[in-house]
A and B are shown apart, each in its own frame.
Chain A
């Protein structure tokens, strides 16, 4: 019984999230009960569903580019050809990681401009850092003996990378991508300030117009999105490892 409830809980949450986002009358009623006496409950300029799409697009585009580029760069600096760059890449990425996300986002405005595309660039720059860090530390932590053994059985360099090193580092790399995506969802929310669109738009609008219902709408949706993404990646990871360890 408990297991059934636990298994159905995510489904139920997802369903209520869907209703909240797509069904405006129901959302309006909920908000009216929570925040009585407001002039408006439904953000009228853009639909919430549209903002969710924008947010997904921001995170999906910048996040997947960052994952690809980050892993590639991490692999490059651990190969003989790029080994010279190993320390400098690690340095730059660890210094850059202490930069606040708002700073990266805000600096993108003078550098590349206002709107969706510059925000993608800023999100990309920020979310590539955990991927690089984890790829490097994942690959570095592999026992040299394992690589040696792979060479011993006659594997080529490419085979060693794809069949030995990357699978062994996969767990650490995946953790980096997960961190990167969760940070990305949060940073994308602030992106509304620089015209990126997304769920931050309705929060910022609510703050400016002193409308708590708007703020709540955006905040709860963004929080659910981040939560859901983290949960799904966690599940995928676990399934992947369970399947492999059997």
Chain B
């Protein structure tokens, strides 16, 4: 549908939304200052941070975005809004870091926790940037670059130690060595589950397609598995595995027990099946369609068909299934600490147990970042592997 805007007289509503969100953010505390880990925080708004540069930068950027919302939305104006959004995010983070360091200087246990004002500001920046990226005539590579900037702006100062006053960072330092190994295990287990599901799922999808008698039971079964709540599936794995481990010493010897990695890995693999089976099935259905007829019509040999038609079509579809499964597996792995397997989720549950919200944030952030990065990364890969004629912009 074409928009009925004429000559930019109507304001751009997404930008206005971003400005309003940032306006609300200014009224909320940017961070809370805490004497120690469990102390109640004292809220500090942006205007109370004592960082004049930050206050001025944020106000100017909000004003600028507000004005640009009413300008005709040319490509240049959109890029200006994207830049304003990126700068807004950076200013908020720098103000937080500078003011936080000053506040905790000379104390031993004090720390600052980013508050609603900061998170709303992040959302406002996202709305400004993303809203302007859509209308702009932007190449996909430029979109990726813009998307990466906020992460660079966060990671570089974090590694350089400039964000050390932030409470989640302090929680991280307290568990640095464990964090790295938990992250490794989390990745390894998610990957193993998806790999297992691919090895089982693709043939299962082929069987379901080839034999109509198998189709319904296969899909009923794996649909059913997906329906079972993750915690329940983990729980249901415990009893049978404990039984097997008790009865067969060989299994016990290789470390299969009722709790721990074995039940978690089995449950995660079962969960990862559905998207992979479904997409393997779909890819066959697509291949068997008219594309193959066209290939035959062109006189392609069996190997040529496989090489130029079937594989290029099937691989992206199967990979899309793997993408959904991987993102799901990363999220489900986060529940696994409850059945005695460690991993990143352990920090989350520890944080909840100890009433330490900063630890929760510290545990959740890597899981969320992992999901988002893996999702985007696979989307880009799938788009690159798709035959040019079938290619769509990654979503």
Counting chain B residues whose Cβ lies within 8 A of the other chain, the interface size class is: 35 or more
Output the least CB separation between B267 and chain A (Å): 11
Residue B387, interface by CB 8 Å: no
User: In the bound complex, do residue B335 and residue A190 qualify as a contact, i.e. CB atoms below 8 Å apart?
Assistant: yes
Binds B, one of A42-50, A82-90, A160-168: A82-90
User: In the bound complex, do residue B229 and residue A223 qualify as a contact, i.e. CB atoms below 8 Å apart?
Assistant: yes
Alpha-carbon gap, A192 to B235, bound state (A): 14
Residue A69, interface by CB 8 Å: no
Given the known interface contacts A98-B327, A223-B233, the answer about A80 and B371 at a Cβ–Cβ threshold of 8 Å is no
Among residues of B, the one whose C-beta sits closest to the C-beta of A82 is: B13
Given the known interface contacts A103-B334, A106-B360, A106-B363, the answer about A227 and B13 at a Cβ–Cβ threshold of 8 Å is no
Select which of B235, B349, B358, B375 is within 8 A of A219 by beta carbon.
B235
Residue B8, interface by CB 8 Å: no
Q: Which residues, 8 to 59 on A, are CB-close (under 8 Å) to B?
A: 34-35
Alpha-carbon gap, A22 to B240, bound state (A): 25
User: In the bound complex, do residue B335 and residue A110 qualify as a contact, i.e. CB atoms below 8 Å apart?
Assistant: no
Main secondary structure of the interface of B (DSSP, over half): helix
**Could you say which residues of chain B place their CB within 8 Å of the CB of A199?**
232
Output the least CB separation between A85 and chain B (Å): 6
Residue B330, interface by CB 8 Å: yes
Main secondary structure of the interface of A (DSSP, over half): helix
Residue B221, interface by CB 8 Å: no
Select which of B130, B351, B357, B372 is within 8 A of A91 by beta carbon.
B130
**Could you say which residues of chain B place their CB within 8 Å of the CB of A227?**
224, 227-228
Given the known interface contacts A102-B348, A227-B227, the answer about A218 and B331 at a Cβ–Cβ threshold of 8 Å is no
User: In the bound complex, do residue B338 and residue A219 qualify as a contact, i.e. CB atoms below 8 Å apart?
Assistant: no
Residue A67, interface by CB 8 Å: no
User: In the bound complex, do residue B232 and residue A222 qualify as a contact, i.e. CB atoms below 8 Å apart?
Assistant: yes
A198-230 near B? 1/0 per residue, CB < 8 Å: 011001101100001001101110110011001
User: In the bound complex, do residue B131 and residue A87 qualify as a contact, i.e. CB atoms below 8 Å apart?
Assistant: yes
Among residues of A, the one whose C-beta sits closest to the C-beta of B360 is: A106
Among residues of A, the one whose C-beta sits closest to the C-beta of B340 is: A207
Residue B14, interface by CB 8 Å: yes
**Could you say which residues of chain A place their CB within 8 Å of the CB of B363?**
106
Output the least CB separation between B258 and chain A (Å): 7
Residue B361, interface by CB 8 Å: yes
Apart from A103-B364, A207-B259, A222-B228, 9 more pairs, CB < 8 Å: A85-B17, A87-B14, A88-B127, A91-B134, A95-B372, A102-B335, A219-B232, A222-B229, A223-B232
Point out residues on B near A: beta carbons under 8 Å: 1, 3-4, 12-14, 17, 116, 126-127, 130-131, 134, 224, 226-236, 238-239, 242, 258-259, 327, 330-332, 334-335, 338-340, 345, 348-349, 351-352, 357-358, 360-361, 363-364, 367-368, 371-372, 375, 395
Point out residues on A near B: beta carbons under 8 Å: 34-35, 80, 83-85, 87-88, 91-92, 94-95, 98-103, 106-107, 109-111, 144, 182, 185-190, 192-194, 199-200, 203-204, 206-207, 212, 215-216, 218-220, 222-223, 226-227, 230
